[in-house]
Amino acid sequence: MANRFGANSVIEWHDRKRILGMPISFTVYDLVSSEDWTKICIKTGLLFTREEEINLYRIHDISMTSSLGQKIFGVGTICLYSNDESTPNIRLINVKNPTKVRNMIATKIEEEKAKRGFRVGEFNY
| % pLDDT > 90, the chain | 74
| Comparison of pLDDT for 86 and 1, the residue scoring more | 86
- pTM across the whole model: 0.86
**pLDDT above 60: residue 117:** yes
CA–CA distance, 92 with 71 (Å, rounded to integer): 15
Burial of 93 (0-12, 13-18, 19+ CB in 10 A): middle
- Please check whether residue 98 is in contact with residue 75, taking contact to mean a CB–CB distance below 8 angstroms: yes
Question: What pLDDT sits at residue 116?
Answer: 86
Is 2.30.29 the CATH classification of the domain at 10-117? yes
Question: What pLDDT sits at residue 84?
Answer: 83
CA–CA distance, 76 with 9 (Å, rounded to integer): 27
Per-residue pLDDT tens over the stretch 69-111? 999 999 999 999 998 888 899 999 999 999 999 999 999 999 9
> C-alpha angle 76/78/80, rounded to 5°?
175
**pLDDT above 90: residue 124:** no
CA–CA distance, 96 with 71 (Å, rounded to integer): 10
